[in-house]
Each structure stands twice: as C-alpha cells, then as structure tokens.
A and B are shown apart, each in its own frame.
Chain A
Amino acid sequence: MIEVEGLTVRYGGVTSLDDMSLKFQEGTCGLIGPNGAGKTTFFNVLSGFVRPAAGTVRAYGVDLLSMAHFRRARWGVRRTFQTEQAIEELSVFDNVAMVHEHTKLGAATRRTDVLDAIGFVGLDADPKTPDAKVRTLTAGQRRLVEVARAVVGRPRLVLLDEPAAGLPDEETSHLAEVIRAIPEHTGALTILVDHDMSLVSACCTTTAVLDFGKLIASGPTAAVLRNDDVIRAYLGVA
C-alpha cells in the first residue's frame, strides 16, 4: 500500500508534480498520462533520485522520503527504467544478483532466489541464458532482465517505467503475463507506467491519470479509461 499526500516537485521554474495525492492499495496499478505529465518524476521521487519540494510518501506505513535512495532499494522499492538499464558486461545472473550484494543471505539461498526470479520472468527457457552476458540478448530479453532485478528477493513496491516501449506484440503479451503475476508471486504492490492502453487494461485493476503534474482521475481501470476528462487530456477523441 502506498499513500501520497500533497507531493510537489519543481525543476527550476517548471512544476513537474503539483500537489499530487494518491493512494494505491495492492495488486498491479496503472499510472498513465501524456508525455511530461510527471509519471517518471513520481517514480524518481519514490526511488529517491529526486527530492520533492513538498509532500509525504508513506509505503506500508513507512516514511519513504526519510530514507537514502540505496536504502529504499534495500527496503524494497524496486524499479525499471524508461531507457533500459541492464548492465551489458555482466551476465543475466549477475545483473539480478546485484540486488543481493548487501543482504546477509547465504550463497545458496541467494542463488536459488536469483534463479527463481530469472525463471519467473521466463528467461530460463534456454538454460544458457542465465550465464549469458546481457549484451548478447535481444531488447525484449533485456527488459525482462530489468524486471527480474526488480522482483528478486522481497520487493515491496515494484515500479515499471514503460517496460513495453519498443517491444513487438508477442513479447508485450509475454511481458503482460509476467506483470500480472508479480503481485501474487512477490506480494509487492506493482505500479505500471505505459502508453500501451491494452497492456494497462490487461494488467491493472486500478489506474490513475496524471496531466501536467496533477491527478485528474483515479479508480477502476475500465471506468478511468471511459472518463471524459481522461479522454480529452490523454486518449484523444475517437
């Protein structure tokens, strides 16, 4: 569960998030809006890359803003990036295992855990893939490496920033299955930012819409996508 109150972020004179308040309970939740609406900024605030001018963020009762960014990741705030950020020179296994560097788990447990995450996203179809360097993988597989890194261990909040951008349809549908399964598999609240409305409606029970840093709608996905304000601001009139 995440509760956001009065969140405001300014870059110089530009207000990227304007007194935004939001509550997501559980499962996979969508966050949509036109480019520049503040979706990635919101993720950056949650993961600690951006310090907000005002507002509070509580996740499962914990004040996130008071934690250093790397501590948030250790506590369970995990994310993927709009421009994919898998480490090319490391293997798939090592990319995912990065998350476990700081844990005190035994080597065997870590290994099982990492392979479980790799299996969860479906990168174990070829037994050679976990040991392959990321630079040898396709764009879709790299996205899955990022997702595996976000779900390994015990995530509490999984933030997916346009994971389907640039992927062909078949890889998007596989990704949709993976995203839908994250909350049940990990128990984490998952927030999906994407411009692909079919992906959002396939994955998310709840969706919120941002426009110019303001929350303009929030609720069950189907209802939000029919909302007149949302159609005007983002989806466009058919």
Chain B
Amino acid sequence: MGADLSLRNPADRRTSRRRPGRPQLIRIATITVLLLFVLFGFPQLLSLYYIDTMTQVAVYSMVTLALGVLVGRVGLVSLGQVAVLAIGAWVAARLLFATTQPYPVVLLEAGLITMVAGVLIGLPALRLRGLYLALITLMFAGAITVVLATLNFPNGGHGFTGYNGSLVHIPPIRRPAIAGGDPAYFRYAVIVAILMFALVLAHTKTKPGRAWAAIRQSEPAALAAGINTTLYKLWAFALASFITGVAGGVLAGAVHYLYSIGFPTQDSITLLAVTLMGGVYSMWGAVVAALLYQFLPALLNNWGVSADWLTILFGLGVLQVLTTAPAGLADQVPKDLARLGRLLSRLLSRRSPAPGKTT
C-alpha cells in the first residue's frame, strides 16, 4: 500500500493531467481550425439565406446544449425549453427597446432573469422525475405560450410589456453596433455560442459535473456520499435556463421582430427529439441537434420540399437512436464511419494481394 502511494504521487497525476497528450492537442487544433472556418469561411461561401440559417443554428445549439445538460448530465427531462427561450427573448427585446445598454450586458441580464424563472420551474423537479416532470414542464410551456399570446412581444411600445398595439411602423429589435449586418451577426452568435459551450465544459469537467453524474446514475449513492442533490439539481436548471435565456437574447437580434406564434408549445417536444438524436452526452450532439432542427428544414424549403416531413423523420430518428445509439448521432456516426473505413481497407487489402496469389 505504502509503495503504491509513493508511486502514485499526487504531483505526478496533476502534471499528467495538465499537460495535454498528443491526441488531445490534435483535437484542440481540429476544433480551432473548424471554428475559424465557420467564423470566416461560412460568411464568404454561403448565401444570405444560409447565413441566416446558420445564425439560427448557432442560437439553437445553445438551446439544445442546455437541454442536453438537463437530460444527459442530470437525467431531468424538460419539455418546456421553448418557453424558456421565449422568456429570454422577451426580456432581451424589452431591455433593448427600453435601454441603451451594450448588447452583451443585455444578453447577460436576459440570461440571469431567465435563470431565476428557470429555477422556479425547476422547483417541482426536486420531487418529480421522468414522465411527471416532463408533463409539468410541458404545461409550463403551454402557460407561457398563452401569456405571450395575450401580452405579445415588446415592439418598442411603452410600459412593462412594451407593446404598442400597432401592426405597422414597428421598429426592429436592435443589434450590437459591431454586428449590424447578417454575416457579422452570424459571427457574433457563434462567438456567444462558443462562450456558452465553454461554460458548460467548465461545469461538466469539475465538481458539478461529477455531482450530476452521480445524481443521474444513483441519487441514493449521491446522497450517501454527502452530495447536496437539491442544490445540484437546481444548479442544473439555473445553468440551462441561463444559457437558454442568452440564446433568446441572440435570437431577438437575429430576427429583429418577435411574435408569439414563433414559440409554439409543441416545438419543445421536437427540441427534445432532436437533442436525443444529436446525442445528449456530448457537446457535439448539441451542434448536430441544432443542425437537424434549423438547417435541415431550411435545406428542404430551399429544395421545395415541405419541412413537415421532418416530423416523421425525427420520429424515426428518435426510434433509431433509442434502440441502437443511446449516445446519439454525434457518437454513432464517427463510429460507423470508422467501421466503414475498416471494412473498405479490409476489402482493398484483400483485393490487392489477390492477383499475386493466383499466378
């Protein structure tokens, strides 16, 4: 035992953890190149239609990221995320009309106010799980939709709601001064999304991440180890709501005009479906989910195919993921590609020595 301890000295472990290995460096480099390409290549290569679509992908990648934290990390199923997004968008729109604060400050405030709302929604989660929690959050989403349909989104009017009742002469929701145009705003949205992904990474790699893993796998074990499960569950709801609130703020600037019909209750269900399809255990899964949710319909629209077909496709997709790939497409596709590569190389290597053998 003593010998074992001296061999496994804490300092060794710390340095070995700090210094990233070669595969990790390659991964970091790949991600950096990919992000640079997205930030500077996309606006050059894509038409305005697809740039707007990719801005939406950036916004919804934050929403699916947040949902992934709840479902994948902590095991809490929420069907109210679109309503949370709507709250973030509402707060941001109101603040953007009412104040001249810089955009990042408004995003932060929208995130924080949505966070408070999210924690309130999270309170039932302390006693409920699974189907019942899903039901409660779905009801909440429905309630928010009703409230929004009555109040409407702010459009530059006065008072708390900021709605002027007019359907014409509506001022657009402003964008940050440095990102007025669509390509620039796309970059802005991607950078905000990167920050949110970093925020989640900072959580999952540290104490909260370990506590969430423990809660998801065994709440009794987490409690027996002295983990304050109440605190960490609410923390997860707070983090998810903050990120979704920030996403709502980015969405407000992206679309310029917000309408309550843009946040239907059933979209929360579709969001959960694509999040599961993308993969709830990895951050790539959130990106894949956002592409499925925003890019795919835009692509189909462009081809003149009705995006309604996607409901069927997503249904089959969820079935496929639940039965064969619990970690989602983000996990399955690379594995399948590697398998395909191995198969091809085996076929090729079998074919090449063959002529030599026959002679």
Contacts and interface: CB of A to CB of B under 8 A. Distances in A.
A129 to B, nearest CB: 11
Interface string A87-103: 11110001000110110
A86 interface: yes
B223 A47 contact: yes
B218 interface: yes
Interface string B207-236: 100110110011011111111110000000
Nearest to B217: A87
Contacts of A101: 207, 210-211, 225-227
Contacts of B8: 115, 127, 130
Contacts of B220: 49, 81, 85
B223 A49 contact: yes
A111 B6 CA distance: 12
Contacts of A81: 220-221, 224
A3 interface: no
Interface stretch (A5-13, A70-78, A184-192, A203-211): A70-78
Given A98-B214, A111-B13, A115-B4, A87 B221 contact: yes
A111 to B, nearest CB: 5
B9 to A, nearest CB: 9
Contacts of B226: 70-71, 73-74, 99, 101-102
B224 to A, nearest CB: 5
A119 interface: yes
B215 to A, nearest CB: 10
A156 interface: no
Interface residues of A, number: 35
Contact of B221 (A86, A111, A127): A86
Contact of B218 (A71, A87, A102, A111): A87
B210 A70 contact: no
Contacts of B14: 107
Contacts of B168: none
Contacts of B228: 70, 102
Contact of A78 (B13, B211, B224): B224
B10 interface: yes
Contacts of B218: 85, 87
Contacts of A102: 226-228
B5 interface: yes
A124 B8 CA distance: 12
B312 interface: no
A134 to B, nearest CB: 9
A88 B225 CA distance: 15
Contact of A87 (B1, B5, B10, B213): B213
Interface string B185-208: 000000000000000000000010
B223 A124 contact: no
A108 interface: yes
A70 B221 contact: no
Given A107-B14, A112-B5, A69 B210 contact: no
Interface in B1-26: 1, 4-5, 7-8, 10-11, 13-14
Given A87-B218, A101-B211, A107-B10, A116 B1 contact: yes
B1 A119 contact: yes
B223 A85 contact: no
A102 B229 CA distance: 12
B271 to A, nearest CB: 25
Given A94-B210, A98-B214, A108 B223 contact: no
Contacts of A85: 218, 220-221, 224
Contacts of B222: 98
A69 B223 contact: yes
Nearest to A71: B226
Contacts of B1: 115-116, 119, 124
A110 to B, nearest CB: 9
Contacts of B229: 70
A49 B210 CA distance: 21
A149 interface: yes
Listed from nearest, the 9 A-B pairs whose CB atoms lie closest are A73-B226, A85-B221, A98-B225, A74-B226, A119-B1, A85-B218, A108-B10, A87-B217, A70-B228
Given A69-B223, A101-B210, A111-B10, 6 more contacts: A70-B223, A85-B218, A87-B214, A90-B214, A98-B221, A102-B226
26 contacts: A48-B223, A69-B223, A70-B223, A70-B228, A73-B223, A73-B224, A74-B226, A78-B224, A85-B218, A85-B220, A85-B224, A87-B213, A88-B217, A90-B214, A99-B225, A101-B207, A101-B210, A101-B211, A101-B227, A108-B10, A115-B1, A115-B5, A116-B1, A119-B1, A124-B4, A149-B225
Interface of B: 1, 4-5, 7-8, 10-11, 13-14, 207, 210-211, 213-214, 217-218, 220-229
